[in-house]
Structure 1
Amino acid sequence: MRKTLALAVAAATVVTALVPGTSQAESSNELKWGACPADVSPGIPVPPGMQCTTLKVPLDYRNPSGRKIDIAVSRLASKKPDQRRGVLLVNPGGPSAGLGYPATLVAAKLPQSVLDSYDVIGFDPRGIGHSTPVTCDLTAEQQLYGNIPPYAKSAADVAKRAADVQQIAKQCWSSKTSALLPHISTANTARDMDQIRSALGEAKASYLGASWGTHLGAVYTTLFPERSDRIVLDSNLPPGGWDYPSERLWSQGVEDRLPDFAAYLAANFREYGLGRTPAQVTTKYHQLAARLDKKPVVAPDATYDGAMLRLITFAYLYGAAQMPVLAELWKSLDANQPPPPPPGSATSVAEGADQLISGRYAIICNDSRWPTSVQTYQRAVAVDRVRYPLFGAAGANIQPCAYWPDAPEAPVRVSDNGPANVLMVQNLRDPATPLAAAQQMRQALGRRATMVTADEGGHGVYLFGRNRCANYPVTTFLTTGVRPAHDYACSAAAAPR
């Protein structure tokens, strides 16, 4: 359960001409489509006609004729050849496996007009899932918080965490996959995307990415502007991706989002008894975290202390559908009772925890330079614990990246060089990628982008939100190429979220 809980929380982030274009005839010889793996989309039906394959790509794009690795690719082909525009590469964020993401989008009611216009292409990023994986040989204890640091109550907590993550970094670089690690990055994943495009015989690729997938999409269209067709970025990271400043923004995101959950609990006081007003609910959160720090609720297979409460709350603020689950968890812990198991914690996902968490560490640590001084993190935690009391001392805590060797490539700088073909959509109250992050990405993309904001809470706008005003321009842009002429804001949907 400890591993399963961590994965349930986690589930609820320059070379421009490396690969010549290919013709459709050539691509048919390169990719051999067949049935997808049985675990391609746990809990979600695989749409009829969805197929999978494996593509060989260079491990090191500086040596394209050298060692190759596997990239797992899926395709849900358009059934309307007369309406088909091309390919739409999709990514769910994470970084996580995306091979089954076309199935997720179909389940989320991706409009038929989009399905008719494109072959929808999913893939597992290098290092993760059915692509060539990496491992840090993580123990169950090291997997407990996934890739999110625990809430630090003191400088001593940061120092203890520093020792723990130094050991994780050491394990990563002494593992059997250590030779792969320098090459597991967002930039190389973007190059893998261009290999997919080329193997499919397409001159250009459209793209729909969420969360960390916005950084991937921004890097792709920066590296390959002339091969980018229609680019949609949903719930945006800053242009630097998942780096230390981005992690500290989680704290602002929780401050923005928790009032929505507090209002939900206050409106349902008779059911949950956790406060009659949002202010009382927020006070309850702090009281409950403090009490659990002194006396955790211990279940046979999990321990719930204040740090775990804060982590689960952060993850379950992602969507309105998760609010009743989070409310029941708070209610149980308030009564000193073990909460019910989190839903959707598939064993197959839990079994892949090590390589998922390891792959994420490799990507985020290679993508940017992290502070190396423990004192830097201790000072930041002290500041953010006061400035953002809900989650600040977690978002500012130290990661294994502090002990990671320098990557062989400098980070890609997202810029406004390229066609004006990017549409951004963003909720105002997103716990993981708050508005401040999207505003930074918008500024970096400059004239290339238009941004639509929605007066909503939660992580994910297109399909996973209920704001028709924000959903409409995405479908319109993907199917017609017509993009809003300027940034605009959508008011809240009629049904509260």
Structure 2
Amino acid sequence: MDSRRLLRSTAIALAVGGLVLSGCTDGSGAAAPSSSTPGAAGPAPLAAYYGQKVSWRDCGVPDFQCATVRVPLDYAKPDGERVELAVTRSKATGPGKRLGSLLVNPGGPGGSAVGYVQGYAGIGYPAPVRARYDIVGVDPRGVARSAPVECLTGPQMDAYTQVDVTPDSAAEQNALAGSYKGYAAACAKRSGAVLPHVSTVEAARDMDIVRAVLGDEKLTYVGASYGTFLGATYAELFPARVGRLVLDGAMDPSLTAEQLNREQAAGFETSINAFAADCVKQRDCPLGTTSVPAALDALKAFFRETDARPVPTGESRQLGESLATTGVIAAMYDESAWPQLREALTRAMGGEGSALLALADTYYEREPDGTYANLMSANAAVNCLDLPPAFSGPASAEKAVPSFEKASPVFGRNLAWAALNCAYWPAPATGRPHRITAEGAAPIVVVGTTRDPATPYKWARALAGQLSSGTLLTYEGDGHTAYGRGSDCIDSAINAYLLEGTPPTDGKRCS
């Protein structure tokens, strides 16, 4: 399991972490454009892209339209190969004057914004917001319908997700490193041309072309999880074009890959403690009902047992430690999944692992027919470009394990070794950790949840403090992200900002 996946889906948020990069170049060394007129030519080499016309069509989903927008594969070579970005929209329903387009990104990196808008945001966002905005989703380059990165086949992914991510010997360490090398080699073989050009900076530059093509003078945007880093990067590149930006479940772009993964491990530890505290109060808690420490000890013992003796699932795949841990982590994103996790753990501890395997499959976006969405491939491709790798090889990963276990006694070892994957990536990183200030941008709302597992609350505080116009909105609760998850206080504050342009008071707290 790669610990740097951030995704918000309609049922359960299923991803973890994301990385950051330099906002000064596009990954090829070309300077970002400084200005352009909405819908007009933009910088001379990119005039054809900024001036293109969108042809909307029915896309087979009621109340939604689809289109494609062309962007250059390499911004240093705008006359070269192009990428077709998939775009969908749900038009403003009224009543009230249309305010423009609201672009939405669910995170990942690798989450499909088209799928998210059609499956949730375009029909589930608050009615007053849908009345005034066209809700727009754009699959970023390398994702889903936009020149997707492809790596392993379904059967190969099945094998990859079962590799032991808590190696207990040199042989197991070599096997894990070999699986990462094999994954990277498959990505290079199947998607070598696109791999160097799926950075977050390039995705942010794409988003500015989409903004112009849609006819909007400024960008209005809601980014969740990794989508907050995409939004912050846009603000750094194009501060004068920032309209109303909501960054929910924020990233801290100043951290290294190792720091991000270790702090995220601490975030998951906070969440598993919250789950255990709730579990011990329930009659059906499979971890016992005596105390939180005892419950966590029982969970760690269960993981050790699955490492030694995988649990049958009724199919060819067995529930080993890697898949069992992924299934538990998947349920940390939304507290409404905790009853499902209690049942899945009860069954797995009783010798039947299909329910916990199903949670892991949801996390990986594995379909019942054994195929996978490209979430994991796109996730690795973007993350490994956005920051230098956390570790150079097994020795440096092993050296970091104690600090990860200190941050998270339950998940630390797993998440430390998971951070080794980018060590073998075929496309060198183009980004670096740095503070994002976005000087000159309009007010930007940063949202943090106090017990968020994937994007720890301290990251929201950090990003809000870095942004010259950042204002922090806090949700005191569990789960990943806050907007649209049941808090009237949060939703009202964000709706007022999107509809009226008035950000909440910096430091406002909701529960």
TM-score bucket (shorter structure) = 0.7 to 0.9
CA contact under 8 A between 2:241 and 2:441: conserved in structure 1? no
Q: Which residue of 1 aligns with 2:473?
A: 452
Contact 1:422/1:448 (8 A) holds in 2: yes
Q: Aligned partners of 1:382, 1:211: CA distance in 2, in Å? A: 27
CA distance in 2, matches of 1:388, 1:283: 13
Question: Is this contact kept in 1: 2:92–2:130, CA < 8 A?
Answer: yes
* Equivalent runs, 1:368-379 vs 2, <5 Å: 368-370=387-389, 371-379=391-399
Structure 1 contact 231–423 (Cα < 8 Å) conserved: yes
Residue 478 to residue 242, structure 1, CA distance change in 2 (3 Å): farther
Residues 125 and 316 (structure 1 numbering): CA distance in 2 closer, same or farther, change over 3 Å? same
Contact 1:153/1:393 (<8 A) preserved = no
Amino acid at match of 1:174: K
Q: What stretches of structure 2 of length at least 5 have no aligned partner? A: 1-8, 19-23, 25-31, 42-48
* Inter-partner Cα distance in structure 2 for 1:147 and 1:322: 23
Q: Which of 437, 440, 446 is matched with 1:418 structurally?
A: 440
- Output the CA distance in 1 between the equivalents of 2:140 and 2:122: 22
- 1: CA distance between counterparts of 2:287 and 2:426? 50
> Which residue does 1:495 correspond to in 2?
none
**Offset of residue 243 of structure 1:** 3.3
Matched, 1:162 2:177: yes
Would the alpha carbon gap of residues 227 and 18 (structure 1) be closer, same or farther in structure 2, given more than 3 Å must change?
A: closer
More deviation, 379-388/453-462? 379-388
The normalised TM-score by structure 2 is 0.84
Q: Match of 1:171?
A: 186
Question: In the TM superposition, what whole-angstrom CA distance separates every residue of 1:253-272 from its partner, at most 9, and x where no partner exists?
Answer: 11111122112322212465
Distance 2:63 2:58 in 1: 9
The alpha carbon displacement at 1:252 in A equals: 0.4
Name the aligned partner's letter for residue 339 of structure 1.
S
Give 3-state SS (helix, strand or coil) of 1:230's partner.
strand
Q: Is the 1:209–1:232 contact (alpha carbons within 8 Å) kept by the matching residues of 2?
A: yes
Q: Which residue of 2 aligns with 1:22?
A: 39
Query: Between Structure 1 and Structure 2, how many residues are aligned?
Result: 472
Change in Cα spacing, 1:290 to 1:373, as seen in structure 2 (3 Å) is closer
Letter in 1 for 2:130: L
Once the two structures are superposed, residues 97-119 of structure 1 have per-residue CA deviations (whole angstroms, 9 ceiling, x without a partner) of 11022234447742121112211
Give the superposition deviation at 1:487: 1.5
SS at 1:369 equivalent: coil
Give the Cα–Cα distance (whole angstroms) in 1 for the partners of residues 164 and 245 of structure 2.
32
Work out whether residues 58 and 65 of structure 2, in 8 Å CA contact, stay in contact via their aligned partners in 1: yes
Query: Contact 1:86–1:205 (CA<8 Å) still a contact in 2?
Result: no
Does the CA contact (< 8 Å) of 1:147 and 1:357 recur in 2? no
Residue 28 of structure 2 aligns with which residue?
A: none
Q: Confirm whether residue 328 of structure 1 aligns to residue 343 of structure 2.
A: yes
Give how far 1:337 is off: 2.1
Does residue 224 of structure 1 match 2:241? no
* Aligned residue number for residue 198 of structure 2: 184
* Superposition CA RMSD, Å: 3.1
**SS of residue in 1 equivalent to 2:280:** helix
CA pair 90-137 structure 1, distance change in 2 beyond 3 A: same
* Residues 335-346 of structure 1 aligned to structure 2 (within 5 Å): 335-340=350-355, 342=358
- Whether the 8 Å contact between 2:312 and 2:351 is mirrored in structure 1 is no
In 2, the alpha carbon distance for the partners of 1:148 and 1:297 equals: 15
Report the Cα offset of residue 474 of structure 1.
Answer: 0.9
Q: Is the 8 A contact 2:272 2:332 kept in 1?
A: yes
Following TM superposition, by how much is the alpha carbon of 1:442 offset from its aligned partner in structure 2, in angstroms? 2.4
2:379 is aligned with 1:360: yes
State the distance in 2 between where 1:266 and 1:74 align: 44
| Change in CA separation of 1:146 and 1:10 when aligned onto 2, cut-off 3 Å | farther
- Alpha carbons 1:269, 1:276 under 8 Å: kept: no
| Counterpart mapping for 1:158-307 below 5 A | 158-175=173-190, 177-240=191-254, 243-270=257-284, 272=286, 274-299=288-313, 300-307=315-322
Contact 1:473 / 1:483 at 8 angstroms: preserved in 2?
Answer: yes
- In structure 2, do the counterparts of structure 1 residues 35 and 9 end up closer, same or farther at CA, with 3 Å as the change threshold? same
Question: Residue in 2 aligned with 1:34?
Answer: 57
Could you tell me how far apart the structure 1 residues matched to 2:236 and 2:500 are? 23
Give 1:217 deviation, angstroms: 0.7
Over 3 Å counting, the alpha-carbon distance change for 1:293 and 1:99 in structure 2 is same
**Shift in Å, 1:191:** 1.0
* 1:134 shift after superposition: 1.8
3-state SS in 1 of match to 2:196? helix
Q: 1:93 aligns with which of 107, 115, 132?
A: 107
Give CA deviations for 1:452-493 in whole Å, capped at 9, x if unaligned: 1122011120002x2222222111111111112321322x4x
How far apart are 1:320 and its partner, in Å? 1.8
Q: Which residue identity is paired with 2:184?
A: A
Amino acid at match of 2:478: G
Shift of 1:160: 2.9
Against the structure 1 CA distance between its residues 125 and 244, is the aligned structure 2 distance closer, same or farther, given a 3 Å change threshold? farther
**Helix, strand or coil at the partner of 1:179:** coil
1:485 maps to 2:502:
no
Query: TM (normalized to structure 1)?
Result: 0.86
2:332 aligns to what? Answer: 317
Contact 1:226/1:418 (CA < 8 Å) preserved in 2? yes
Separation of aligned partners in 1, 2:427 and 2:302: 41
AA partner of residue 22 (structure 1): G
1:389 and 2:409 matched? yes
- Contact kept? 1:266, 1:276, Cα under 8 Å: yes
* d(CA) in 1 for partners of 2:164, 2:210: 34
Q: Which whole-Å CA distance do the structure 2 matches of 1:237 and 1:217 have between them?
A: 10
Give, as a single letter, the amino acid of the residue that structure 1 aligns with 2:395. Answer: Q
Q: What is the correspondence of 1:388-407 to structure 2 with a 5 Å cutoff?
A: 388-397=408-417, 398-405=419-426, 407=428
1:427 match: secondary structure? strand
CA distance in 2, matches of 1:33, 1:256: 45
Note the 1:98-177 alignment, pairs <5 A. 98-106=113-121, 109-138=124-153, 140-142=155-157, 150-153=165-168, 157-175=172-190, 177=191
Helix, strand or coil for the counterpart of 2:249?
strand
CA contact (8 A) 1:33 1:52 kept: yes
